[in-house]
Amino acid sequence: VERPVSRPPHPDGRVRAAAVALFAVKGFHGTGIRELADAAGLSSATLYHYIGTKEDLLVDIMQTSLDRLLTAAGQVLTESPSPVAAMNGLVQTHVVAHALRQAETVVVDTELRALSPERRRPIVALRDEYEDLWESVIEKGQASGSFQVPDASVARLALLQMCSGVANWYASGGRHTLAEIAEMHARLCLAMLGAGPEPGLPAAGHYIRLVAGVWGDDTTPA
Amino acid sequence: VERPVSRPPHPDGRVRAAAVALFAVKGFHGTGIRELADAAGLSSATLYHYIGTKEDLLVDIMQTSLDRLLTAAGQVLTESPSPVAAMNGLVQTHVVAHALRQAETVVVDTELRALSPERRRPIVALRDEYEDLWESVIEKGQASGSFQVPDASVARLALLQMCSGVANWYASGGRHTLAEIAEMHARLCLAMLGAGPEPGLPAAGHYIRLVAGVWGDDTTPA
């Protein structure tokens, strides 16, 4: 099947939002292309013209989400003077993104299985690049004596599962504000690494603004 | 639709194993009843006779899994003399179960969304009962001064996401043995709660045997 040359590099926001919502609730395989078109108010043919296949759409959602996480993490690392500060920022940024972009991050975290091996490879490479940033911060903290953990790689997996898990349970308007949840996670993660908080670490408001800056226009909770 | 009176309370193991494998890879909505019957070597009609609907099958898988986690947690609590010992046991048991029963626990953790509200309610109640056991151990540790956490409920969510996450990344034959992964998670969780390990806590072998005992015949990794 030939793709139209004029296809824009990123699908229309309405289609993307509909796809994120449907994939998160029904799963990639459980969402029909027709249903997707209906939810976006388009015909299946128009959808195909703008987006390509359903897999193209999933790849675009995942790539955009991981690019944003990488951009946000890069900003955190640039501004952080120590492994403890870097970890405080990585955790809070990740938690805020997973709470505000709940459906998007759940799709990224659960639907890798749906991609064909060729499409999965570059997405896994982006995910690995992001996770390697976390692991290098843990290793720097081990080297400087700030962190005491038996194994940097297992600690990185444990931290990321814990922080990504916020997307599974966060509800806005719950008992705690988003800022409280982000700060508690930073405190728990630093304790897990055997480090106390340093004086003068930025509070959650800073990272909520950082996430809003990276996610740009696309800031409505989803 | 009337269910046959002779339908056994639990579906045939072959169907259950096929369903766990398919639901984990393709999602509940992405798995057809025909495909399920084929994978189990049955006709759709025979499958229906033994199992009922696809939703009945999902409910059975979830209920069995949560019953086992509750049984294992009950044994851990009975034998543990302190909150630190109880948390060491809960974490190791949960990690071992999520590593050995990877597909089953992923289905339980991701496909609640697929259940109708009436079928979801008793499953959520079982899950809440299990999570309450964890939270009550955290609260006992706070009361006795063993644990220092800002909020027992957020700590419980963070611990469970981290330990359930093992099902997302564990690969047998990886760099660490299952026993090492279980023990490292116990150590990381206790550090997160502000507690060091106590002398004389059971090592992972004890909890691997406990899980094997509860899961009974159904011990092949899935």
Residue B110 has pLDDT above 60, yes or no: yes
CA-closest candidate to residue A93, choices A171, A181, A170: A181
Residue A212 has pLDDT above 90, yes or no: yes
* Whole-angstrom distance, CA of residue A222 vs CA of residue A104: 7
Closest partner CB to A192 (pick from B27, B176, B191): B191
Per cent of chain B over pLDDT 70 is 92
Which tens digit of pLDDT belongs to each residue from A44-91? 888 888 788 899 999 999 999 999 999 999 999 999 999 999 999 999
Q: Render A166-197 in DSSP notation, one character per residue.
A: HHHH--TTSSS-HHHHHHHHHHHHHHHTT-PP
Contacts of B188 in chain A (CB under 8 A): 149, 154-155, 158, 192
- Give B121's pLDDT tier (boundaries 50, 70, 90): very high
> CB contact, 8 Å: A203 with chain B?
no
> CB contact, 8 Å: B191 with chain A?
yes
* Whole-angstrom distance, CA of residue A65 vs CA of residue A23: 14
* Lowest-confidence pick of A198-207, B43-52, B178-187: B43-52
- Three-state secondary structure call for residue B35: helix
* Whole-angstrom distance, CA of residue B181 vs CA of residue B161: 15
Contacts of A170 in chain B (CB under 8 A): none
Looking at this predicted complex, what is its ipTM? Answer: 0.89
Looking at the complex, report in whole angstroms how far the Cα of residue A5 sits from the nearest Cα belonging to chain B.
32
Interchain proximity A162–B164, CB inside 8 Å: no
How many degrees, rounded to 5, is the angle at CA A119 between CA B109 and CA A210?
A: 65
Which tens digit of pLDDT belongs to each residue from B5-49? 444 444 478 888 899 999 998 889 889 989 998 998 888 888 888
Residue B189 has pLDDT above 60, yes or no: yes
> CB contact, 8 Å: B28 with chain A?
yes
Residue A217 has pLDDT above 80, yes or no: no
* Whole-angstrom distance, CA of residue A187 vs CA of residue A149: 16
**What's phi and psi for A173, nearest 5 deg?**
85, 10
Q: Which of B95, B149, B168, B188 is the best substitution to test chain A (most A C-beta atoms within 10 A)? A: B188
**Of B222 and B192, more confident:** B192
Residue A4 has pLDDT above 90, yes or no: no
Which tens digit of pLDDT belongs to each residue from A5-47? 444 444 478 888 899 999 998 889 889 989 998 998 888 888 8
Residue A218 has pLDDT above 70, yes or no: no
- Three-state secondary structure call for residue A27: coil
Q: The tokens of B35 are what?
A: 């495909």
